[in-house]
Amino acid sequence: MPVRCVTKIASAHGLSRKEMLDELLFMILSGFETAATFLSWFTYLMSKHPEVQKKIKQELKQHGISQDTMLTPDMLDQLVYVDCVIKEVFRFSPNVNATLRTLVADDYLGKGDKIYHLHRGEVVLISFYNLHFDRRYWIIDPERFYPDRFLSEDKNHHPYALIPFGGGHRACIGQDLAKLELKIIITRLMQFITFEDGGEDINSGGHKQGLTVTPKNLAVYVQFDS
Ligand code: HEM
């Protein structure tokens, strides 16, 4: 069944059954593709950064989480380093690389002799990718994949320097669900396996633009921890 994004304002009778179905399918699609993309990047980046996997595993050990441990919300809350890894994967490889906004009023951007007049009705593209790598907003080199930045110099980064879920009142409605599910999946994976680099020829990363931005070349070995 084709999925159509509903933009029509609900009539006085509310949403029709078809519109309701469209909304539900959109939710499933927007939640599935994005999470799958994040996990591809996580797999790729972990294969290139064994030291980060080691630190995640150390954190699990420190909190008494072994292969037999069933995860609870309280346990997950304690895993601060895993949160840093999630943020850094989102920063370094934005799944969704931009969003659009249509101006409802005239506005001005910039300062000094570089002021741009924006007009009502114009569409502005906000590039997450540019913000995530903008040297003005990051103390530690933004080109470096380094989850520890969120525990040190970049702990208090500008709130709009990292917006993988967009911002304002049209920000992603599923972001808390997404962060929770990704934290559970990552923690569970790291209880059991280690990703190893499949070699520069076939695990060379790159970017492939589809509905989301995925790694172009991803090939890893999966090592089962004893
Ligand atoms: C890794 C996971 C996800 C990422 C990176 C992501 C990213 C985004 C982004 C960038 C936007 C546009 C925000 C803006 O323009 O300011 C968005 C909107 C949206 N997302 Fe997500 N999303 C994720 C997961 C989910 C999940 C799990 C759901 C549903 C359960 C969901 C439902 C939606 C919906 C309904 C919108 C449109 C909100 C609106 O226009 O008011 N997303 N998402």
Asked whether residue 84 is marked as a ligand-binding residue, the answer is no
Q: Is the CB of 34 under 6 A from ligand 1?
A: yes
Q: How many structural domains compose the chain?
A: 1
Q: Is the CB of 187 under 6 A from ligand 1?
A: no
User: What are 56-67's pLDDT values in tens digits?
Assistant: 999 999 999 999
Residue 181 maps to a domain:
yes
Residue 129 maps to a domain:
no
Residue 200 maps to a domain:
yes
Q: ipTM for the complex?
A: 0.99
Q: Is the CB of 165 under 6 A from ligand 1?
A: yes
Average pLDDT (37-42) is 98
Residue 136 maps to a domain:
no
Q: Which CATH number covers residue 161? A: 1.10.630.10
Write down the pLDDT at residue 222: 98
User: What are 160-184's pLDDT values in tens digits?
Assistant: 999 999 999 999 999 999 999 999 9
Write down the pLDDT at residue 2: 44
Question: Which residue among 9, 27, 29, 30 has the greatest number of ligand 1 atoms within 8 angstroms of its CB, and so is best to mutate?
Answer: 30
- Token readout for 150 is 């969120």
Which residue has the least CA distance to atom 22 on ligand 1?
172
Residue 92 maps to a domain:
yes
Q: Which of 64-68, 109-113, 153-157 has the lowest mean pLDDT?
A: 109-113
Residue 195 maps to a domain:
yes
Q: Is the CB of 31 under 6 A from ligand 1?
A: yes
Q: Which domain holds residue 155?
A: 22-96+141-224
State the pTM of this model: 0.91
Average pLDDT (19-33) is 89
Residue 153 maps to a domain:
yes
**C-alpha separations of 49 from 19, 42, 55, 79, 217 in Å:** 45, 10, 10, 19, 16
Full DSSP string of 128-157 = HHHHHT-TTT-SS-TTS--GGGGGTTTTT-
Residue 135 maps to a domain:
no
